[in-house]
Amino acid sequence: MKKLNGTNKINIAVFISGKGSNLKNLIKHSYAYNSKFRISLIITDNSKALGLKFAKKFHIKKKIVNFDNTKLVEKNLVMFLKRNKISLICLAGFMRILSKKFIKNFNGKILNIHPSLLPKYKGLNTHKRAIKNKEKFSGCTVHLVNSKLDSGKIILQKKVKIFKKDTPKSLALRILVQEHALYPKAVKKILANL
């Protein structure tokens, strides 16, 4: 089997807006024996994103992007990502919708993780809505990003039981544990076909 060294690993950019627990988890997996990828860029739209601390901790290049002028910003961002030889983008708690044009530049190469069993509960407040509707299960989904919100091809999903005593917070925490198991698996699956 071909051995991967630091130089021929696949470069991934992770886009975050908040805590970055999925980012941290992907970084951890990138250090695993025989991992085929490295997290080489962290992009955020939020200069106060807590997840930015992982850039310093793990010596990863970061970029804070002000998305106010979306068109120009995205054009520059595409160039920046290409210059940095990014082959895959992982959205992880990134609270922006990317334009069609941006997505076209990385067609089939942008993943997102969403805390529900898509196509159910797209958008925000998934846990609150699932509990309110007395669903027996929720979960998480890793999917390809297309121009419609939370609607691209599903790569992997994991079901999580909803208990009677669950609050949106307790459910979110239990699902997050599964997100951390699911996202690296989905990345591996996509990389196998790149």
Query: How near is the Cβ of 176 to ligand GRF at its closest, in Å?
Result: 6
**115 in contact with ligand GRF (CB under 6 A):** yes
β-strand partners of 86: 11
Largest CA distance in the chain: 51
Number of residues interacting with ligand GRF: please give it, by CB under 6 A: 14
Beta carbons of 118 and 93 less than 8 angstroms apart = no
For ligand GRF, which is the closer residue by CB, 69 or 125?
A: 125
- CA 112-52-176 angle, 5° bins: 45
Residues 28-57 that bind ligand GRF (CB under 6 A): 51
Query: How near is the Cβ of 114 to ligand GRF at its closest, in Å?
Result: 5
Beta carbons of 13 and 43 less than 8 angstroms apart = yes
Alpha helices in 31-164 (DSSP H): 53-57, 70-83, 100-105, 126-132
Residues 10-29 that bind ligand GRF (CB under 6 A): 16, 18-22
Residues 153-192 that bind ligand GRF (CB under 6 A): 176, 179
Give the range of 38-46, 110-118, 160-168, 184-192 binding ligand GRF by CB under 6 A.
110-118
* Torsion sign (Cα): 13, 152, 185, 50: positive
- Please name the amino acid found at residue 166: D
For ligand GRF, which is the closer residue by CB, 67 or 69?
A: 67
Q: Which two tokens stand for residue 38?
A: 């490295």
Query: How near is the Cβ of 9 to ligand GRF at its closest, in Å?
Result: 22
State the binding string over 66-85 for ligand GRF (x if CB under 6 A, else -).
--------------------
Give the N- to C-terminal CA distance of the chain in Å, as an integer: 18
For ligand GRF, which is the closer residue by CB, 46 or 105?
A: 46
22 vs 24: CA distance, rounded Å: 5
Catalytic residues: 114
Return residues touching ligand GRF (CB under 6 A): 16, 18-22, 51, 92-93, 113-115, 176, 179
